[in-house]
Amino acid sequence: MRRRSSAQRALIAAGAALLALFWFGPFMLVGIGSVIPEGNLLSFPPRWFAHPPFLGNYRYIFTGEIPQTYLERGALRSMISQEVRLVPRAMLNSVLIAMAVMFLSLTLGSLAAYAYARLRFPGRVATFNFILISRLIPTVALAIPYYAIVLRLGLLNTHWALIAIYTVLTLPFTVLVLTLYFRTIPGEIDEAAQVEGASPLQVLRHITLPLSLPSLVGTGLFTFMLAYSEFLFGLLISTSARTRTLPVTLGTLSTNPDVAWGLMMASIVVGSVPTLVLVIPVWRFMVRGLMSGAVQ
Amino acid sequence: MGQTTAPRGRAEPLPVERGRSYQWRLARSGVLMTLPALLVVASFTVYPFWYALNESVHLSSPILGRRFVGLDNFRNVITSPYFLDAARTTLIFGAIAVPVLVVLGVLVALLLNERFPGNTLLRAGMLLPWAIPASVVGIIWKWVFLDSWGALNAGLYSLGLIDRYISWLTTPWLARFAVIVAFTWSQLPLAAILLLAALQAIPDELYEAAAIDGASAVARFWAVTLPGIRPMLVIVTLYEILMALNIFDITYAMTGGGPGTATSLLTYYIWAETFKMLSFGNGAALAVVIALLALAFIAAIIRALPKEALLGERA
């Protein structure tokens, strides 16, 4: 190991401290903001910590029980936003949509990826490139046509439209990652099965997919996260409050000048739970994929 | 394959050598297996793009109906002061945010490549900004920068560093700065991890050789590290340019494009023009313009990638 001078060590420590502040600081502020009563949050000069931690914001989101602190001062009463109560519902919407997208993307993606990884057929390279490049078109350029198509099909305000759109948006990623992964599985196993008379579909189902389980899980969860987080199409297609996804519900809340920020913070914490639960397996998968040189 | 009657043994021909009908069946399987994905992607790419092109050369209005106007919509949007303003804002945004991201990405990657206590915690901490939906990133930073009771103002005031709250989000240049900070926060994790992966792929012997030659740490960085990560630097730069062209959720939630139009980036402007102003023809023309811009970057990315990077045959 290289030995470091004390100046180098100080530099590393300072960099690490700055980075930690940058990564974690905003989250800590949100967490703190969610347990401060509105009156203290808005006070000037700031008296944030004059009140013991307060869970009324969280209680309101789930039960609709208006926190005592909001009743104390008449002026703040109007700041309670009914929309915050839609957060659990929006989370459910987002989870259902994301699960459907994950399933569809993995099904279509693994079929195509197997063919790209193992079979030769006319148009193989051209169609593969086409699928990948399609995703690089800015989504806003597709927004108008998608909106018009969804409108014409009468699917506005349905989850079906979002499921279809998110499947298209995630499919290129799924195809790319699964193709690269399938290629790392030795081809001899497939050939042996083919000698036994198995069709490509059977090989995929009984050999390749079971061998690719870690990659399938990682890709699937990544797809889930993308679908769970998407904003633009969610905003365009779900116009009614009940069908909205979580990012759209939160995003529109933040543009509402009447929103109570304590409630907003608590909504963010609640709404981030699914992503934070999934993020560790997804990240492991991604980092391992990158380190093994799939992207090099 | 049912008609094979010869006993199985070493003489059994490999499937790849088994003749044209077998080859043909495999090829057919390949086409059939890729078809569903391809149809889905194509119908949601080719048709919409054609639709946008078609819409961009027509003018639809509830009173006059629909008529062909040629390139009028393009002329309208490109010469519109609002478009020029949004384009300029996007250019400024990209010209600041992308270099900042790339430089910080290299610095963070270099830092995380060192051994120190807490390294794992920092790497895990990168997950948070990366995983949070971008609209939520916008809200989080809105809360930090909020003019009247934001966390930054409250904190600076409590520390006695300012004696009056700063109007972060209602002063044009400060609002742009705030958006760049939020964008950097959400994009830095991926940039840093990609560059870290590239750093770790540089063989140690190169560093040792350079050290034996008496090269200083700075000289080693220029002579060994930088050339080693250059392909990834190019990819990260182009990727971040694309992301900067795509940014929508953050500004929507954080500033709503304001104050005035100070943070109205192209995507936000297209969205507002189409869905707030309901001028589909103009919106479609803008969409075509931005798609062509992106395609130019895509072409650059593909040229930057090593040949046979993805589907090419490996030795």
Q: So what's the pLDDT on residue B14? A: 52
Mean pLDDT throughout B131-143?
91
Among A71-75, A198-202, A263-267, B121-125, which stretch is predicted with the lowest mean pLDDT? A71-75
Residue B304: pLDDT above 70?
A: no
Among B62-71, B274-283, B303-312, which stretch is predicted with the lowest mean pLDDT? B303-312
Mean pLDDT throughout A21-27?
91
CB contact under 8 A, A26 and B28: no
- DSSP 8-state symbol, B65: E
CB contact under 8 A, B193 and A287: yes
pLDDT classification of A2: cutoffs 50, 70, 90 = low
Highest mean pLDDT range out of A73-87, B241-255, B297-311?
B241-255
More confident residue, A76 or A269: A269
Residue B1: pLDDT above 60?
A: no
Tens digit of each residue's pLDDT (9 = 90 or more) over B98-107: 999 999 999 9
| Residue B14 to residue B17: CA distance in whole angstroms | 5
> Is the minimum CB–CB distance between A167 and chain B shorter than 8 Å?
yes
Q: So what's the pLDDT on residue B103? A: 95
Q: So what's the pLDDT on residue B275? A: 79
Tens digit of each residue's pLDDT (9 = 90 or more) over A36-92: 887 777 777 777 777 778 888 888 888 877 776 666 555 455 556 677 888 889 999
Closest CA in chain A for residue B160 = A45
> Is the minimum CB–CB distance between A268 and chain B shorter than 8 Å?
yes
User: Considering all CA atoms of chain B, what is the largest pairwise distance in Å, rounded to the nearest integer?
Assistant: 93
Q: So what's the pLDDT on residue A171? A: 94
CB contact under 8 A, B310 and A13: no
- The residue of B25, B234, B288, B310 whose CB has the most chain A CBs within 10 angstroms, and thus the best one to mutate to test that interface, is B310
Q: So what's the pLDDT on residue B281? A: 80
Q: So what's the pLDDT on residue B18? A: 57
Among A14-23, A44-53, A178-187, B125-134, which stretch is predicted with the lowest mean pLDDT? A44-53
- The residue of A144, A146, A291 whose CB has the most chain B CBs within 10 angstroms, and thus the best one to mutate to test that interface, is A144
Q: So what's the pLDDT on residue A166? A: 94
> Is the minimum CB–CB distance between A120 and chain B shorter than 8 Å?
yes
Closest CA in chain B for residue A281 = B127
Q: Are A61 and A68 in contact, with CB atoms under 8 Å apart?
A: no
Q: So what's the pLDDT on residue B314? A: 38
Closest CA in chain A for residue B24 = A121
Q: So what's the pLDDT on residue A214? A: 80
Beta-carbon neighbour count of residue A92 at 10 Å? 12
Residue A226, H or E segment: helix A213-229
| Residue B299 to residue A13: CA distance in whole angstroms | 41
Q: So what's the pLDDT on residue A238? A: 85
Among A169-178, A287-296, B53-62, which stretch is predicted with the lowest mean pLDDT? A287-296
Q: Are B255 and B180 in contact, with CB atoms under 8 Å apart?
A: no
> What percent of chain B has pLDDT above 70?
88
Torsion angle in degrees (nearest 10) through CA of A246, A252, A254, A256:
-140
**Mean predicted lDDT score pLDDT of chain A:** 84
Domain ranges of chain B: 80-277
- The residue of A121, A147, A239, A250 whose CB has the most chain B CBs within 10 angstroms, and thus the best one to mutate to test that interface, is A121
Mean pLDDT throughout A244-267?
85
Closest CA in chain A for residue B28 = A121
| Residue B33 to residue B37: CA distance in whole angstroms | 8
What value of ipTM does the predicted structure carry? 0.84
In chain A, the domains with their CATH numbers are 6-83 (no CATH), 85-291 (1.10.3720.10)
Alpha helix ranges (H) inside B201-276: 204-212, 217-220, 226-246, 249-254, 266-271
Nearest to A119 among B26, B151, B200 (CB): B26
Mean pLDDT throughout A276-287?
76
- DSSP 8-state symbol, B58: E
CATH superfamily assigned to domain B80-277: MetI-like (1.10.3720.10)
Closest CA in chain A for residue B279 = A144
Nearest to B270 among A140, A235, A268 (CB): A140
Residue A1: pLDDT above 60?
A: no
Residue B312: pLDDT above 50?
A: no
Residue B59 dihedral angles phi and psi, to the nearest 5°: -120, 120
Mean pLDDT throughout B218-226?
86
Q: So what's the pLDDT on residue A107? A: 96
Tens digit of each residue's pLDDT (9 = 90 or more) over A85-94: 888 899 999 9
Closest CA in chain B for residue A180 = B310
Nearest to A26 among B140, B246, B280 (CB): B140
**Mean predicted lDDT score pLDDT of chain B:** 82
**Chain A residues lying within 8 Å of B108, measured CB to CB:** 19
| Residue B283 to residue B77: CA distance in whole angstroms | 8
Mean pLDDT throughout A196-218?
87
Residue A165: pLDDT above 90?
A: yes
> Is the minimum CB–CB distance between A134 and chain B shorter than 8 Å?
yes
CB contact under 8 A, B140 and A27: yes
Shortest distance between the Cα of B201 and any Cα of chain A, in A, equals 8
Shortest distance between the Cα of A129 and any Cα of chain B, in A, equals 9
Secondary structure class of B59 (helix, strand, coil): strand
Residue B309: pLDDT above 60?
A: no
Residue B188: pLDDT above 80?
A: yes
Mean pLDDT throughout B8-15?
47
Residue B80: pLDDT above 60?
A: yes
State both tokens at B114.
């060192």
**Chain A residues lying within 8 Å of B26, measured CB to CB:** 119-121, 200
Tens digit of each residue's pLDDT (9 = 90 or more) over A116-146: 999 989 889 899 988 988 887 888 888 888 8
Q: Please report the number of interchain residue pairs, chain A to chain B, with beta-carbon separation below 8 angstroms.
A: 311
Q: So what's the pLDDT on residue B315? A: 30
Residue A22, H or E segment: helix A6-34
| Residue B142 to residue B250: CA distance in whole angstroms | 9
Q: So what's the pLDDT on residue B6? A: 41
- The residue of B100, B140, B162, B196 whose CB has the most chain A CBs within 10 angstroms, and thus the best one to mutate to test that interface, is B140
Shortest distance between the Cα of B294 and any Cα of chain A, in A, equals 6
Q: Are B18 and B6 in contact, with CB atoms under 8 Å apart?
A: no
Query: Cα angle vertex B297, ends A215, B292, to 5°?
Result: 110
Mean pLDDT throughout B143-147?
90
Residue B63: pLDDT above 50?
A: yes
> What percent of chain A has pLDDT above 70?
91
Closest CA in chain B for residue A202 = B29
Residue B62: pLDDT above 70?
A: no
| Residue B261 to residue A223: CA distance in whole angstroms | 34
| Axis-axis angle for helices B151-158, B134-145 (nearest 10) | 30
> What percent of chain A has pLDDT above 90?
26
pLDDT classification of B118: cutoffs 50, 70, 90 = confident
The DSSP bridge partners found for residue B65 are B61
| Listed residue (B204, B13, B180) closest to B89, CA to CA | B180
Residue A16: pLDDT above 80?
A: yes
Q: So what's the pLDDT on residue A295? A: 39
Q: So what's the pLDDT on residue B184? A: 95
| Residue A95 to residue A245: CA distance in whole angstroms | 9
Q: So what's the pLDDT on residue B48? A: 86
**Chain B residues lying within 8 Å of A255, measured CB to CB:** 252-253, 256
pLDDT classification of B307: cutoffs 50, 70, 90 = low
CB contact under 8 A, B29 and A200: yes
Q: So what's the pLDDT on residue A95? A: 93
Closest CA in chain B for residue A286 = B193
CB contact under 8 A, B118 and A20: yes
